[in-house]
Chain A
Amino acid sequence: MTAFALETRDLRKEFGDNVAVRSLSLQVQQGEVFGFLGPNGAGKTTSIKMLLGLVAPTSGTATLLGAPLGDRAARAKIGFLPEHFRFHDWLTAREFLTLHGQLYGLPSARLRERAAELLELVGLTPFQHKQLRTFSKGMLQRVGLAQALLNDPQLVFLDEPTSGLDPVGRRLVRDIIRDLRDLGATVFLNSHLLSEIEITCDRVAFIKHGEVIRVTDLKTIVDGETSVTIRAGGLTPEAVAGLSQWGRDVRADGDHITLTVTDDSALPAITRHLVAHNAEVYALTPQRLSLEELFIQIVGTDGGL
């Protein structure tokens, strides 16, 4: 048994002359929340489709939970929320979960219990006997998410899980991902919402032109350089100048100061320094080198086109 929940080697997909995925090589550890990022047309969706057996790779190999692609025993341990979450909309939410639970081969008593549990989790218990066609986009996404969790999966693929959701729904998805991680499950998250990835993922792969161009541990970004914005009244030039001992690029503009520090531990010292110079501090906000900046740095502003 390999320790990887997912491993791909030079996975490639061509559609005629068009190369959708050039050479995807990835390793995702068990229990990891792994983000998959890239500009439009970078081959993210095709990659996920290959991993799930929807699309056959032109070449290359991959294993999911130690089994080769398409292995049915492995698929029983995998959950998937498709990007467009189109389901049989003439089923009620309850029937929908029952159908998919049956396809997972869950025993009926366990399925009843699990479906009720999940409907409650995604907040759809009051709507369980309504047909899916009456559901809003967000509700469909919630029921789709419940569907992906029916089998207590060891590996969950979430393709744009928050695209139809309001902020409350997004928080729900975040909480679910966190719960999955606590249970030791692996989550493979494809989202174009960088803030989403930033909050939830352990590691993230940037792909462009169907290749992984960088895998980044998000914890190291967090521990890296931080840009700090300060809003304070009664700033004296000495107070501002003194800030350079904790960071660089100090810029003052009226009540606003920005600077870049290398360590979060500088923040209390900066506050004390300003207070000692009789400044009235209203806000001191660390702004991490955001994933967005990193994304643009890595992928480039051309969006990979």
Chain B
Amino acid sequence: MPTFIIARLTFLEAVRRRIALAAFLLGLAFLILYGAGFYFITRETGVPTGSEPTAQLVRSQIFNFLTNAGMYAVNFLTLAMGALVSADTLAGEIGSGTIQALVTKPVRRAEIVLGKWLGFAGLLALYLLLMAGGVLAIVYLQVGYRVPNPVAGVGIIYLESLLIMTISLACSSTFSTLATGGTIFGLYGVAFIGGWVEQIGTLLRNQTAINIGIVSSLIMPSEALFRRAAFEMTSATARALGMSFGPSFVISVPSGAMVVYAALYLIAALAVAIRQFSGRDL
């Protein structure tokens, strides 16, 4: 199966060119930093230590908040990895001519795109599992706390990283590496700012600001997806108060429809990548 041959090649490339190594070392550095930070915050600040129900409740809310703050960083690192590994893959190989010996083999161009996609998807899965698993393990080992719905939360973050990677791949099938990087960075910026505009709009009950946020989430659902993931991983107590724990307090939570939208967006981006690459001159 050519798709799997290319997927394996893509995975191998990340390993051989030390991209994976650099990402994992930096990820490890983050986990060490996070572990140390968590240790000192939970011991040297006013986290209630009593065994009465109120103290327990407050404590678990603080742990929940800190876990989700760590997940936000993991989310960002995984997104960056998704965008970076795939930005150069088609554009770079077209530019250098490496692609020529591949596409003249008896394979479909779609199989090359799908193979690369699968390879990156595998790489991102591994990275996210280690990073998110690392954060969850650090919290659990230090204080014995477990966030609710980690599978759903991490799953949504995975979808988000796949989406960014796929858009990056689609851009890379048409534009140069640099233009691809610029586009992805711009889209991420739109989502990031839009997300905050929506939050503030919700807080101030300003419908225009909320709409701006929604539109920006439709252009690029990354930030919205994280807010949904954070919501999944927030305790029922906090949810009952109308908030969830992101890097700060999330008060505007995208509906489950946003997850479906993102999945459709991803499929469309993959279709564009295949179509563009299949039709272009190399």
The answer on a CB contact under 8 Å between B282 and A86 is: no
CA distance A55 to B17 in the complex (A): 30
The answer on a CB contact under 8 Å between A90 and B17 is: yes
Q: Does A53 contact B (CB under 8 A)?
A: yes
Q: Does B151 contact A (CB under 8 A)?
A: no
The answer on a CB contact under 8 Å between A54 and B100 is: yes
List chain B residues, Cβ under 8 A from A99. Answer: 5, 9
Q: How far is the CB of A128 from chain B (nearest CB, A)?
A: 17
The answer on a CB contact under 8 Å between B282 and A103 is: no
Q: Does A276 contact B (CB under 8 A)?
A: no
The answer on a CB contact under 8 Å between A103 and B98 is: no
Choose from A80, A85, A88 the contact partner of B104 (Cβ within 8 Å): A80
Q: Does A82 contact B (CB under 8 A)?
A: yes
Q: Does A105 contact B (CB under 8 A)?
A: yes
Given contacts A86-B96, A86-B98, A87-B98, contact A54 B104 (CB under 8 A): yes
Q: How far is the CB of A83 from chain B (nearest CB, A)?
A: 8
Q: Does A75 contact B (CB under 8 A)?
A: yes
The answer on a CB contact under 8 Å between A144 and B101 is: yes
CA distance A103 to B100 in the complex (A): 13
List chain A residues, Cβ under 8 A from B104. Answer: 52-54, 75, 78, 80, 82
Choose from B9, B96, B105 the contact partner of A75 (Cβ within 8 Å): B105
The answer on a CB contact under 8 Å between A53 and B97 is: no
Q: Which of A86, A90, A103 has the most CB of B within 10 A?
A: A103
Q: Does A256 contact B (CB under 8 A)?
A: no
The answer on a CB contact under 8 Å between A90 and B103 is: no
Q: How far is the CB of A93 from chain B (nearest CB, A)?
A: 14
Q: Does A102 contact B (CB under 8 A)?
A: yes
Given contacts A88-B13, A90-B13, contact A105 B281 (CB under 8 A): no
Q: How far is the CB of B258 from chain A (nearest CB, A)?
A: 38
Q: Does B46 contact A (CB under 8 A)?
A: no
CB closest chain-B residue, reference A150: B105
The answer on a CB contact under 8 Å between B106 and A147 is: no
The answer on a CB contact under 8 Å between A87 and B101 is: yes
Q: How far is the CB of A134 from chain B (nearest CB, A)?
A: 13
Q: Does B205 contact A (CB under 8 A)?
A: no
Please tell me the number of chain B residues within 8 Å of chain A, measured between CB atoms.
22
The answer on a CB contact under 8 Å between B103 and A53 is: yes
Q: Does A76 contact B (CB under 8 A)?
A: yes
The answer on a CB contact under 8 Å between B107 and A103 is: yes
Choose from A54, A102, A105 the contact partner of B282 (Cβ within 8 Å): A54
Q: Does A100 contact B (CB under 8 A)?
A: yes
Q: How far is the CB of B15 from chain A (nearest CB, A)?
A: 9
Q: Does B33 contact A (CB under 8 A)?
A: no
The answer on a CB contact under 8 Å between A88 and B2 is: no
Q: Does A257 contact B (CB under 8 A)?
A: no
List chain B residues, Cβ under 8 A from A88. Answer: 9, 13, 98
Q: Does B179 contact A (CB under 8 A)?
A: no
The answer on a CB contact under 8 Å between B17 and A56 is: no
Q: Does B102 contact A (CB under 8 A)?
A: yes
Choose from A53, A72, A102 the contact partner of B5 (Cβ within 8 Å): A102
Binary per-residue interface labels of chain B (249-282) against chain A in the complex, 1 for a CB within 8 Å, 0 otherwise: 0000000000000000000000000000001011
List chain A residues, Cβ under 8 A from B43. Answer: none
CA distance A82 to B99 in the complex (A): 10
List chain B residues, Cβ under 8 A from A73. Answer: 106
CA distance A185 to B282 in the complex (A): 27
Q: Does A246 contact B (CB under 8 A)?
A: no
In residues 177-227 of chain A, which contact B (Cβ within 8 Å)? none
Q: How far is the CB of A131 from chain B (nearest CB, A)?
A: 8
The answer on a CB contact under 8 Å between A55 and B9 is: no
The answer on a CB contact under 8 Å between A103 and B5 is: yes
Binary per-residue interface labels of chain B (90-121) against chain A in the complex, 1 for a CB within 8 Å, 0 otherwise: 00000011101111111110000000000000
Q: How far is the CB of B236 from chain A (nearest CB, A)?
A: 50
List chain A residues, Cβ under 8 A from B100. Answer: 52, 54, 80, 82, 84, 86
In the assembled complex, 16 residue pairs joining A and B whose CB atoms fall closer than 8 Å, in A order, are A49-B282, A54-B100, A54-B103, A54-B281, A72-B108, A73-B106, A80-B101, A83-B97, A84-B100, A88-B98, A91-B12, A99-B9, A100-B105, A103-B2, A103-B106, A103-B107
Q: Considering the complex of A and B, which 4 residue pairs feature the smallest CB-CB distances, nearest first?
A: A103-B105, A76-B106, A90-B16, A55-B281
Give 14 new A-B contacts, CB below 8 A, not counting A15-B281, A52-B104, A87-B98.
A53-B104, A54-B281, A54-B282, A55-B281, A72-B106, A75-B106, A83-B97, A86-B97, A100-B105, A102-B5, A103-B102, A103-B106, A104-B106, A144-B101
